[in-house]
Amino acid sequence: MSKILVALKRVVDANIRVRVKPDGSGVATEGVKMSINPFDEIALEEALRIKEKGAAAEVVVASVGPDDAQQQLRTGLAMGADRAIHVRADQPIEPLAVARVLLKLIEREQPKIVLLGKQAIDDDNNQTGQMLAALWNRPQATFASKVELSGDTARVSREVDTGLETIEIDLPAVITTDLRLNEPRYVKLPEIMKAKKKPLETLALDELGVDITPQFKVLNYAPPPARQKGIMVKDVAELVATLKQRGLL
């Protein structure tokens, strides 16, 4: 296997409380810590482990987003990726458009595996990996909790409603990662310094010839309703009566 392509998305850090702008036009990101989408970080860790086992020669990370997305690509390089590709996009990009961009990068890089998180924690769409596999006309394995490679096949254990399902797919393929696949490594300062010297290529969307016309229009953002205060009941009879009063029984 020669190459693994890993897609990274820039999102609000998972430990930050998300706030909606006062006018409801979006999520407030000014001055907010941004990070690699946690599921994508797991995907990168898996790619690095595959390379360390000698099953890949190169790990390439790619991101579609504004100039600030280079910060997350540099983090990916510090983790151990060999190269980075930044496709500059100043406006929000829908999953289908991202899949089309990644397909163009696949045509350029010819990877054996494309790894990405099963979903992004900002929009929770869980669509890009599946759309990419369909556009690429290659097999896919989603929600991977274990990946084993053997020649030109991958054996993937994935979480389903009834437990674990193990499938075998031919490579090249798209694999999306779940939380239990691994624990991403901690990036140390020396690796951060070395990452500054690693190649990071910047491309414009126009160079790829991808149609990013949005299919949907978001009309408004609103925070979830505040949780109601709980109440204490003395016994089961009072609990049942309260549930009936609230129309829950």
Residue 124: its pLDDT value, please?
86
Where in the chain are the domains?
3-214
- Name, in order, each residue with C-beta under 8 angstroms of 200's C-beta and a sequence gap of 6 or more: 70, 73, 74, 77, 83, 84, 85, 86
Residue 213: its pLDDT value, please?
84
Give the pTM. Answer: 0.86
Instruction: Walk along the chain (249 residues) and give the pLDDT tens digit of each residue.
Output: 589 999 999 998 888 888 888 887 778 888 888 899 999 999 999 999 999 999 999 999 999 999 999 999 999 999 999 999 999 988 888 999 999 999 999 999 999 999 999 999 888 889 999 999 999 999 999 999 999 999 899 999 998 888 889 999 999 999 999 999 999 999 988 999 988 899 999 999 888 888 888 888 888 888 888 887 888 888 898 888 888 888 887
Residue 209: its pLDDT value, please?
86
Residue 1: its pLDDT value, please?
57
CB atoms within 10 A of CB 32: 13
Residue 199: its pLDDT value, please?
94
Return the SS3 of 129. helix
3-214, superfamily in CATH? Answer: HUPs (3.40.50.620)
DSSP string, 49-115: HHHHTTS-SEEEEEEEE-GGGHHHHHHHHHHT-SEEEEEE-SS---HHHHHHHHHHHHHHH--SEEE
